[in-house]
Amino acid sequence: MRTPAEAAATDRQKSPREFAGTHVHFIGIGGSGMSGAAALLLGLGADVSGSDLVPFEGMGALVNRGARVGIGHREQQLDTNVDFVVISAAIPESNPELMAARTLGVRVVKYAELLGVLMRGCTKGVAIAGTHGKTTTTAICAHLYRGAGLDPSFLVGAYSAQLGGSSGLGKGPHFIVEACEFDRSFLHLAPESAAILNIEPDHLDCYRDLDEIVGAFARFAHNVDPNGLLVCNAGDHRTRAAAAESMACVQTFGFTEGADWHAVNLGREHGCYSFEVRFSGQVLISTRLSIPGLYNVANALAAIALAYHAGADPGCIERALPTFSGVSRRLSLRGEGHGVTIVDDYAHHPTEIRVTIEAARYRYRPRRTWAIFQPHQHARTRHLMEDFSDSFGEADEIIVPDVYAAREASDVPETPPESAIPDADGTPCSEELVSRICQRGGRARYMPGLSAVAEHLVRHVTEGDLVLTMGAGDVWKVADELVERICESNRA
């Protein structure tokens, strides 16, 4: 079997236009990556259909462009003339549409495999890997490449109003994508240039341990074109170890002396940073960010390095970066009313929670911070329980609802919610997390349902409070309800 790098070498001239006239069906089309890929294929002339359990953001735009989208998963939604089926990571073999595709002998590919096919059809693939920051960094790259006139194609794992959605089809040679390590998905990619932002324990439901995770990143690094570029985090010894397996040119970025791409002379205003960028010891640009958080300076450095490698003029980078406005569910301000600020974020890993709370506090300087964290997956919560327990030190009030059921139970209604799966002592995961936070001196409470959480907040938040909803599930519904009941009433 060919490796991704070997496939890229032989298939480089294979055009994505091969999708023109083909019928592609997406099972789980509502995911940001899946819906973005569907939009790309529509732009390439494919006949696109798909299904998901519930309506989703961007569904109307896909339908308006000609996609046929069904709600719910039923065998009848799979046309017999479909050429191939794309499935998300959340789709089990018991899915009726997937079972129908298997019976018909239709080719079935995972989303990650589709990305590999699309990237092999491009001259210069760009892949952003790492435990945290992939979505924002991918979006920054797309924004900088556009600002420099490179007109890239891209696929981001979240909606970006600024970019016109979660994907875009450009006329330039670059295809910029997130490279996700779950299920070793990123090993389907063979980019010309890439970044490894950081490596931490995660997805321990499909990796044995941290060493195995680092090994997978090392294989990803090895797949980068030997004539290309790999940028890695200078301050993370795991990323450096993984990058050492690459045959490409390796450059480092970060805040440490000796990094090839070095941020210096940092200033902060309302949580957002200004800084100079030194490349190989020389000041290349002086710029700033309009999104908060020191971690986003690191993300920006990686994007700047990749854009510069792609041929972007430093002046264009300097002017474009401050205009980047972020992506959906990354410290997104949802509303303000009666002196209460409501912000939503995708944070679902201990490190993400910690830096997100810190960035939000610097940004809004609240009297009191409410952290509403919905754990994502029982396995992740169990494996990282101690780290989760230590992540809420900057929050004044913490509420933890039930674990969001994902992947294992998303398509099997009879399966009990993951929150009902107990730890070894019989305690459900969310309750155990609350107990451990309280043992560390935090003010935390367990409230199973999101409606109850919203009701509690409506009764107890006061002027000067910040409500920060966090998680990869549907905890954003709490933010939406608060906006409706607090912020909208303020304007009434």
List the CATH number of the domain containing 47.
Answer: 3.40.50.720
Cα distances (angstroms) measured from residue 253 to each of 230, 278, 301, 410: 11, 10, 6, 38
Within-domain flag for 10: no
Question: Percent of the chain having pLDDT more than 90?
Answer: 84
**Which residue range forms the structural domain that includes residue 28?**
20-109
Mean pLDDT, rounded, for 158-175 = 94
Confidence category of residue 489, pLDDT binned at 50, 70, 90: low
Domain stop point among 51, 78, 109? 109
Number of folded domains that form the chain: 3
Query: Looking at the structure, do residues 480 and 378 belong to the same domain, yes or no?
Result: yes
The pLDDT-based confidence of 99 (bands split at 50, 70, 90) is very high
Predicted confidence at residue 491, as pLDDT, reads 53
Rounded CA-CA distance 474/373 in Å is: 11
What is the arithmetic mean of pLDDT over 410-414?
32
pTM of the model: 0.91
pLDDT tens-place string over residues 240-282: 999 999 999 999 999 998 999 999 999 999 999 999 999 988 9
Q: What is the pLDDT of residue 6?
A: 46
The pairing of strands 193-196 and 124-129 is parallel
* Residues 143 and 233 grouped into a single domain: yes
- Which positions are catalytic? 134-135, 178
Return the CATH number at 193. Answer: 3.40.1190.10
* Of 323, 350, 373, the domain-final residue: 323
- On whether both 285 and 416 belong to a single domain, the answer is no
β-pairing, 229-233 with 193-196?
Answer: parallel
Same structural domain, 251 and 399: no
What is the structure's pLDDT at 427?
60
Domain annotation covers residue 208: yes
Q: Flag whether 4 is in a domain.
A: no
Q: Quick check: helix, strand or coil at residue 28?
A: coil
Residue 129 lies in a domain: yes
pLDDT for 429-458, tens place per residue?
999 999 999 999 999 999 999 999 999 999
Q: Are residues 358 and 286 both part of a single domain? A: no
CATH of the domain at 437: 3.90.190.20
Mean pLDDT of 111-123: 90
Rounded mean pLDDT, 30-54: 94
pLDDT digits (tens, 9 = 90+) for 276-316: 999 988 999 999 999 999 999 999 999 999 999 999 999 99
CA distance 191 to 220: 9
Neighbours of 197 (CB within 10 A): 24
Could you tell me if 410 and 275 lie in one domain? no
- Residue 159 is classified by DSSP as -
In a domain, 11, yes or no: no
What pLDDT sits at residue 90?
80
In a domain, 235, yes or no: yes
Compute CA distances 56 → 35, 62, 317, 397, 492, whole Å. 9, 11, 33, 31, 28
Instruction: Note whether 397 and 431 are same-domain residues.
Output: yes
Assess whether 219 and 338 both reside in one domain: no
CA neighbor of 163 nearest in space, from 152, 171, 173 = 152
Beta-bridge partners for 368: 465
Q: Are residues 301 and 341 in the same domain?
A: no
Identify the pLDDT of residue 405: 72
Q: Give the C-alpha distances (Å, rounded to integers) separating 424 from 21, 382, 415, 421.
A: 53, 10, 19, 10
Q: What is residue 449's DSSP assignment?
A: S
Is residue 116 in a domain? no
Pair (291, 341) in one structural domain: no
Domain boundary among 269, 293, 323: 323
* Range scoring the smallest mean pLDDT among 54-63, 127-136, 393-402: 54-63
Instruction: Note whether 54 and 132 are same-domain residues.
Output: no
Q: How confident is the model at residue 123 (pLDDT cuts 50, 70, 90)?
A: confident
Residues 79 and 223 both lie in one domain: no
pLDDT of residue 204: 86
